A and B are shown apart, each in its own frame.
Chain A
């Protein structure tokens, strides 16, 4: 059981004990510290706010700087809240959150912000088939086709799939297996891919049994 923030480093392959090559994403999860303890009495719910990374004081906004100072933690890149049930025992502001809380073989889910694709057409965004390439077609290859009826209903229904901004969405990938943990460098390797570009921050949470 565990919950932590991490930075996506990249992918490689690792060999398991069956000597099979397993595709893995390397995530640097740490150094992480609890930056605030939220309690039902004050905030309405129980949670631990966890911060990751280290950043120059000058690069951090003054309100956040004060927030980090209060917790006695070096200023970092981002913070995120986790349910208290994800952690063994009580934590206080300033306590470290370690990759050791995960075990190899454990199933986790990883949340991150996917790569932005910009303004994408319907073929890329909604897996439309596009049009014909031949038979006298012009400009129809990646066209969406009809977007609805004519005089009845006299409008295009809301939610009709069209082109638009794609990517940069918060995506959670479930059922990823922890393949390897290297505590000395705070690295955690999960099987498969993880949303987002390299050097982006992700949330790793154990799957509840």
Chain B
């Protein structure tokens, strides 16, 4: 990518995020404005897709809420994202986990767990 584009995008960096891969279970704290007040809202779910790079990176997070599948596309560098934490590392053999949409019940969000070697640092 053009160096000048990177220069511009460098001014836009959001919160520092851990490495996120499709299959990971994440909790994302989003800033929500309700009337005058601002509060944090957590969105927990499985990352089923990611796209873009740098400022433009977005992830799609899916969860089952009261029996209804809910997906949110979250621009990871948006100022509305307060924090991103990985709850569980998933082991996925493809980059888009859209097959989860067809599943119901217990299997709906089931992704094999991935053991992550603790980094020395």
CB distance from A200 to the nearest CB of B (A): 14
Task: Tell me, yes or no, whether A15 is within 8 Å of chain B by CB.
Answer: yes
Task: Tell me, yes or no, whether B49 is within 8 Å of chain A by CB.
Answer: no
Contact string against A for B residues 1-20, beta-carbon threshold 8 Å, 1 for contact and 0 otherwise:
11011011101100000000
Interface-side segment among A32-40, A50-58, A125-133, A181-189: A181-189
Bound together, the chains give a CA A123 to CA B78 distance in angstroms of 39
Most chain A CB neighbours (cut-off 10 Å) among B8, B9, B31, B56: B8
Bound together, the chains give a CA A9 to CA B2 distance in angstroms of 8
CB-based contact B2/A13 at 8 Å: no
Task: Tell me, yes or no, whether B79 is within 8 Å of chain A by CB.
Answer: yes
CB distance from A98 to the nearest CB of B (A): 17
Task: Tell me, yes or no, whether A202 is within 8 Å of chain B by CB.
Answer: no
Task: Tell me, yes or no, whether A21 is within 8 Å of chain B by CB.
Answer: yes
Task: Tell me, yes or no, whether B85 is within 8 Å of chain A by CB.
Answer: no
CB-based contact B79/A12 at 8 Å: no
Identity of the chain B residue whose Cβ is nearest the Cβ of A27 in the assembled complex = B4
CB-based contact B4/A185 at 8 Å: yes
Interface SS, A side:
strand
Task: Tell me, yes or no, whether A28 is within 8 Å of chain B by CB.
Answer: yes
CB-based contact A12/B56 at 8 Å: yes
Bound together, the chains give a CA A26 to CA B11 distance in angstroms of 13
Residues of B within 8 A of A28 (CB): 4
Identity of the chain A residue whose Cβ is nearest the Cβ of B31 in the assembled complex = A19
CB distance from B3 to the nearest CB of A (A): 9
Task: Report the interface size for chain A: residues with CB under 8 A from the other chain.
Answer: 16
Residues of A within 8 A of B5 (CB): 9-10, 12, 26
Residues of B within 8 A of A21 (CB): 75, 78
CB-based contact A185/B7 at 8 Å: yes
Task: Tell me, yes or no, whether A1 is within 8 Å of chain B by CB.
Answer: no
Residues of B within 8 A of A15 (CB): 12, 77-79
CB-based contact A26/B78 at 8 Å: no
Task: Tell me, yes or no, whether A14 is within 8 Å of chain B by CB.
Answer: yes
CB-based contact A12/B4 at 8 Å: no
Q: Which of B60-91 contact A (CB under 8 A)?
A: 75, 77-80
CB-based contact B4/A19 at 8 Å: no
CB-based contact B8/A182 at 8 Å: yes
- B residues whose Cβ falls under 8 Å from a Cβ of A: 1-2, 4-5, 7-9, 11-12, 31, 55-56, 75, 77-80
List 18 additional contacts besides A19-B31, A187-B7, A187-B8; criterion CB under 8 Å. A9-B4, A9-B5, A10-B1, A10-B5, A12-B56, A14-B8, A15-B12, A15-B77, A15-B79, A19-B78, A26-B5, A26-B8, A28-B4, A180-B8, A182-B7, A185-B7, A187-B4, A189-B8
Chain A to chain B: the 6 pairs with minimum beta-carbon distance, closest first: A19-B79, A9-B4, A10-B5, A19-B80, A15-B79, A26-B8
A-B contacts, 10 of them at CB < 8 A, read: A9-B5, A10-B5, A14-B12, A14-B55, A19-B80, A26-B8, A182-B7, A185-B4, A185-B7, A187-B8
